[in-house]
Structure 1
């Protein structure tokens, strides 16, 4: 018995001892943890441009990482002591920095790498900027730096429209609706992002023509295959607008131009290098009367009495946006933890509908958006090689469509005619149809990216994107409208996984898969024109998958080839299913579109003494099923979206660039794309009979899509003109679009009214800067020869215009 007691006592002593050891160990670890330190920072070129993909090594510590897209890097959980930080990047001189790290210190560093110039087979190779690094990805991508355009009045739309394969069609002047086309794909088949964040929920008052060039660092255009990390169901490409992410800067500008156009922009950031607190703000205003001249038919009493050149009189556009972001950067728990708010508003007078056949004098559209958002990202989270980023936003959008004039019709001279009923009373009809519709839209968007480096040559990337859209409509002029009694919602889930493997320094390959799931709730009209005609709530579920492969290989250091294939799907967008409440009808039966995309491209770039040359070309092949396209009727202001059974795109594009030192540059691009209807038979489910019937459009090009277009640009730069730290810049732009058909070619080939003619325009810019770019003034003339140019459904665009811009930077 005594022995048993002794054993129990010994066991208790052992347990107590072990417990004390564990507690003391944990205490030591906790104390050590609290004393652990970190190093984080950013790496830039000697010109201040952030450098992604730079290898950063702590010598003798077996720790290494690479900078992200913003040039940021970080090491955590470091013991106090001496460290040697080493960087390596092709095209830049290696850099070393000795660091003495104190206990618990969160050290911030900023390194500037010097470009390395060396000779390789008589070819001079220089350091690569962020733009160059994006272009060298396996994906078919074009990247444009806006550095040389900061003094112009260009906006994001104008910059993108100069890229090969891209064609932006507009309804008119500033603030008009646009249709973006990339290698045959248009509208929402191409997705837009700002710093990797979807712009779908930004609202109509924050479009491409609203974004000033001073806000943007560069623009990346992905053609065909879209990287998984963008987390989207784009069918044929994506555009990622990278804003200025400098930790501290200030840029303010104001421009005034023709047609009473005014544009103002203020952008800046401030970061405390000690505690990492940062504040960023962007604000910009746009205003234009858009009262340019157009050649139009004059109608009186429903009869065309003349064709004259007149000024647009009801096309004013106003918009304003404030975008702020605040939080902390370069912390041990987050590289970026930022809370943001976007507030924007716009109002626009509507001059006409989808065509210019009918003119309006009272219809208005306006919108307001409020978007709180959260952004987080951390490299080496929990363990080296694990990178995580999260974006979440809640969008509150409200828009109104107003048509409340009674019995009034306008012609292109601005003359108002009062319409009456049969008994002589003033008609109660509106210009188009009486409406005062308010669209209350809410959208919740989340995007999660997780990347993990399996080794120095391979990595995994996971993306999950979720969005929920809800719309409630109310028409004060038609409160009993059946369609307004059914709220509409759209839920979308996108999941993507990619594996990247670098075989060596010349060959890289990425394989990926995606899955898409959507659920739409809307309403539909049944049994039209029958006694049982009614509107009922309906649901639409869609599920699709996508997959693909992208690879790149450097045959020579200066010669790169790329190939990519993707089977992709795109789910309909809210506007395509629900309409816009005015000129776009709803189509609740609209289905997803699918496409098989193949790209093959090559680029040859080299330097010879003081000259730099670049030549590039790519071949595009697309086969799309159930393509979502716009159905337009020449005589009607309304359109709708529908599915086209099968289309094919065959295209080729090319670009070139020549630079001589820093004072002369010449570039250009050309695109040919043959987009044809490939469905031999189509399904007809009309009231007159249903079944499969011959497709009379088979083999013809799709209407209203330019098939051959290009541009050329040239520039001259002169230093020390009139002052020691000054520069003078001249830029010239030429654009060309071959004539194309407004309708199916077999219907309009004999009628010039259905042909949009060949168009050429010439633009000229001149700018002057002093004190190393601190003070700037520029002037420009667009469409110098005052050519008559058209877009979309024979809509006339502005003629010759002038603008002057003042800009101040710090």
Structure 2
């Protein structure tokens, strides 16, 4: 959104009255809204950008923490660093948030089709796009609530390298290194990254409830982004990511909640994609074909003995073609027509004392999107999708968007309407453990939703504000019922308001803020759990010392929300979690041309809070480090 705009600079064409060209600010380009490159100010969907510069200024180490101030998103981490971390968009379930890393769908079929953000760090990330609202037309089943699209750094240019190390509270030590560049005038490009993190951690079971055993966490992540221009119009890209993480955890007892115990887990994640892009007709006709794979395996241990193993695999082959053309007769317009074909196979393998199954689902899809720009001010899209699934009935979804710019007043009006479908997860259908029974009779969830918003620039673009109203309705909502899950009869409704603001107070001093109101109810009018009705965030950043030093003050406020408690027989009841406020302070200074010193304090005022009932959260923590760039 305009509150988080990226500055991309171009040049004015020279004229006889100008001695030299002057830089102008262009809107950033986004990909996720249409699966093509589109300027943000032409997008009718609600979308937020998080840039690498923002991640570095705030010293964000995990992607989930970067999402906490995005309007419409709620984040819940069940314990300390490395614990299960789920993201919900506009009140939808976590398994209705599709997560992409360089085009790879990384939602885990063995993990309820959710993506656990616990292990995803920010070191190699260039930008994050958060697309809100039903997005099944372009992305299929898992995108009922929206999409988090993560794009890593690409190589190119002269050789660049960096190393960094930091340490601090809870016995935390972290080191990272990166290397990037290009060869043969950038016909071959590479970007490599490695990071290692260790922390002694906190008790996963809340210390405020008399738990004290520390639960540590280790994470090692390697990533690569490689590209080659084989011909002037043919590019091939290969990306890969490998994560090896181990987490100590605690147990759960009905009637009590989380308790100290000798339980831990080991996770291996492998994500990869190879993609070829061919441009014809001077770039007006684009072709893209790709093969993606994601494999996430987690082994759970009690007292050092493995008790269960979850392995989720997703393989996708996809093709998309985009044809762009302009017409001048009758109505001047620019048109883009996209057509896509996909085949996706999801497989979940679960092994435990209670269950042993290997199940898969294959979906074949075709989608199309039409984009038209009229008079350089009005931008419309219309799209549809057909999914043929070998387990459920075939599904058809559609989506419409509109954006209208008023250049004279700096105003953008936007709106969207779409439908979506979410298939039951393999675990819900077939999974089984000590406290859960599957339901093979589940039916897909369906949704329809709309939003309308306005973005306004004021005072020569020094102030940008935005407001959005959204309304989404779900049928066949899958809900926990005792020790199983069922489709709730009737309609669930989620609606709310998202507000954003960004202001340049004076040179070097910038303020951004957001607020979200969410009213989420099941068919019986009960509030959905872990969805705060009110939440807000703000960041105040100051650049000084000729931009060699920065200070960033961040505030996150989360209102009261419901959660679930279980009695000794695992019957559920509703509990209320208190609101909380987190204040984070980060600062950095470039000591020399290559060396930077940085430090931060998280939870500055030592707030005592819970994001999940009976689970712990870190208190005040401090970290310092050095980074060298070459």
Find the partner of 2:94 among 173, 184, 187.
187
* Residue 360 (structure 1) shift: 4.4
2:212 — aligned with what?
Answer: 311
List per-residue Cα deviations over 1:60-88 (Å, max 9, x = no partner): xxxxxxxxxxxxxxxxxxxxxxxxxxxxx
Number of residue pairs matched?
A: 594
Q: How does 1:733-744 map to 2 (within 5 A)?
A: 733-743=554-564
2:263 — aligned with what?
Answer: 363
2:187 — aligned with what?
Answer: 276
Question: In the alignment, is the contact (CA less than 8 A) between 1:173 and 1:290 conserved in 2?
Answer: yes
1:285 aligns with 2:196: yes
List per-residue Cα deviations over 1:740-773 (Å, max 9, x = no partner): 23259xxxxxxx992111211211111111445x
Q: Distance in 1 between matches of 2:432 and 2:13?
A: 56
1:612 aligns with 2:462: yes
List per-residue Cα deviations over 1:136-173 (Å, max 9, x = no partner): 41211111223133251432111111111111011011
Q: Distance in 2 between matches of 1:292 and 1:114?
A: 59
Q: How does 1:440-451 map to 2 (within 5 A)?
A: 440-451=311-322
Question: In the alignment, is the contact (CA less than 8 A) between 1:135 and 1:143 conserved in 2?
Answer: no
Question: In the alignment, is the contact (CA less than 8 A) between 1:116 and 1:127 conserved in 2?
Answer: no
Q: Residue 233 and residue 547 in structure 1: after superposition, are their counterparts in 2 closer, same or farther (change >3 A)?
A: farther
State the SS of the aligned residue for 2:202.
coil
1:589 aligns with 2:490: no
1:806 aligns with 2:615: no
Q: How does 1:523-562 map to 2 (within 5 A)?
A: 540-557=391-408, 558-562=410-414
2:363 — aligned with what?
Answer: 492
State the SS of the aligned residue for 1:796.
coil
Question: In the alignment, is the contact (CA less than 8 A) between 2:314 and 2:345 conserved in 1?
Answer: yes
2:133 — aligned with what?
Answer: 224
1:784 aligns with 2:628: no
List per-residue Cα deviations over 1:74-111 (Å, max 9, x = no partner): xxxxxxxxxxxxxxx9x742389xxxxxxxxxxxxxxx
List per-residue Cα deviations over 1:11-46 (Å, max 9, x = no partner): xxxxxxxxxxxxxxxxxxxxxxxxxxxxxxxxxxxx
Q: Distance in 2 between matches of 1:617 and 1:782?
A: 29
List per-residue Cα deviations over 1:486-545 (Å, max 9, x = no partner): 4211222332111111112110100000122333xxxxxxxxxxxxxxxxxxxx423211
State the SS of the aligned residue for 1:542.
coil
Structure 2 unaligned runs (5+)? 1-5, 31-37, 328-333, 566-572
Q: How does 1:463-474 map to 2 (within 5 A)?
A: 463-474=340-351
Q: Distance in 1 between matches of 2:605 and 2:206?
A: 16
Question: In the alignment, is the contact (CA less than 8 A) between 1:232 and 1:494 conserved in 2?
Answer: no
Q: Distance in 2 between matches of 1:275 and 1:165?
A: 39
Q: Residue 373 and residue 129 in structure 1: after superposition, are their counterparts in 2 closer, same or farther (change >3 A)?
A: closer
State the SS of the aligned residue for 2:66.
helix
Q: Distance in 1 between matches of 2:441 and 2:56?
A: 45
Find the partner of 2:538 among 706, 712, 717.
712
Q: Distance in 2 between matches of 1:563 and 1:293?
A: 42
Question: In the alignment, is the contact (CA less than 8 A) between 1:139 and 1:226 conserved in 2?
Answer: no
Q: Distance in 2 between matches of 1:265 and 1:206?
A: 24
List per-residue Cα deviations over 1:569-617 (Å, max 9, x = no partner): 1223344444486776543333211111101010001343xx7101100
| Higher mean C-alpha displacement, 498-507 vs 270-279 | 270-279
Q: Distance in 2 between matches of 1:396 and 1:495?
A: 24
Q: Distance in 2 between matches of 1:507 and 1:216?
A: 32
Question: In the alignment, is the contact (CA less than 8 A) between 1:401 and 1:582 conserved in 2?
Answer: no
1:99 — aligned with what?
Answer: none
List per-residue Cα deviations over 1:258-286 (Å, max 9, x = no partner): 21223333233221134712333122223
1:377 — aligned with what?
Answer: 277
2:617 — aligned with what?
Answer: 797
2:34 — aligned with what?
Answer: none
| Higher mean C-alpha displacement, 460-469 vs 198-207 | 198-207
Q: Distance in 1 between matches of 2:266 and 2:234?
A: 39
| Higher mean C-alpha displacement, 175-184 vs 570-579 | 570-579
Find the partner of 1:775 among 586, 591, 595.
595
Q: Distance in 1 between matches of 2:525 and 2:453?
A: 27
* Residue 435 (structure 1) shift: 6.1
Q: Residue 758 and residue 179 in structure 1: after superposition, are their counterparts in 2 closer, same or farther (change >3 A)?
A: same
2:173 — aligned with what?
Answer: 262
Query: Which structure carries more relative contact order (alpha carbon 8 Å, separation 6+)?
Result: 2
Find the partner of 2:471 among 618, 621, 631.
621
State the SS of the aligned residue for 1:795.
coil
State the SS of the aligned residue for 2:618.
coil
Q: Residue 402 and residue 295 in structure 1: after superposition, are their counterparts in 2 closer, same or farther (change >3 A)?
A: closer
Q: Residue 200 and residue 781 in structure 1: after superposition, are their counterparts in 2 closer, same or farther (change >3 A)?
A: same
Q: Residue 290 and residue 95 in structure 1: after superposition, are their counterparts in 2 closer, same or farther (change >3 A)?
A: farther
| Higher mean C-alpha displacement, 386-395 vs 170-179 | 386-395
Q: Distance in 2 between matches of 1:220 and 1:115?
A: 29
1:664 aligns with 2:509: yes
Question: In the alignment, is the contact (CA less than 8 A) between 1:713 and 1:732 conserved in 2?
Answer: yes
Question: In the alignment, is the contact (CA less than 8 A) between 1:196 and 1:230 conserved in 2?
Answer: no
The TM-score with structure 2 as length reference comes to: 0.85
State the SS of the aligned residue for 1:786.
coil
Q: Distance in 2 between matches of 1:352 and 1:95?
A: 68
List per-residue Cα deviations over 1:594-645 (Å, max 9, x = no partner): 111101010001343xx710110000001111123455x7xxxxx7544333
The TM-score with structure 1 as length reference comes to: 0.67
2:51 — aligned with what?
Answer: 145
Q: How does 1:340-419 map to 2 (within 5 A)?
A: 340-353=239-252, 357-380=257-280, 384-403=283-302
Per residue, is there more strand in 1 or in 2?
A: 2
Q: Distance in 2 between matches of 1:354 and 1:243?
A: 40
List per-residue Cα deviations over 1:179-235 (Å, max 9, x = no partner): 211111131211111233322369989953433333222211111143855566411
1:332 aligns with 2:232: yes
2:495 — aligned with what?
Answer: 650
Find the partner of 1:157 among 54, 64, 71.
64
Structure 1 unaligned runs (5+)? 1-48, 52-88, 97-112, 118-125, 298-306, 406-433, 520-539, 634-638, 679-697, 721-725, 745-751
Q: Residue 156 and residue 386 in structure 1: after superposition, are their counterparts in 2 closer, same or farther (change >3 A)?
A: same
Question: In the alignment, is the contact (CA less than 8 A) between 2:140 and 2:421 conserved in 1?
Answer: no
Q: Distance in 2 between matches of 1:612 and 1:518?
A: 50
Find the partner of 2:147 among 225, 238, 242.
238
Q: Distance in 2 between matches of 1:280 and 1:580?
A: 42
* Residue 436 (structure 1) shift: 2.5
Q: Residue 395 and residue 181 in structure 1: after superposition, are their counterparts in 2 closer, same or farther (change >3 A)?
A: closer
CA-based RMSD of the aligned residues comes to 3.3
Find the partner of 1:166 among 66, 73, 81.
73
* Residue 548 (structure 1) shift: 1.7
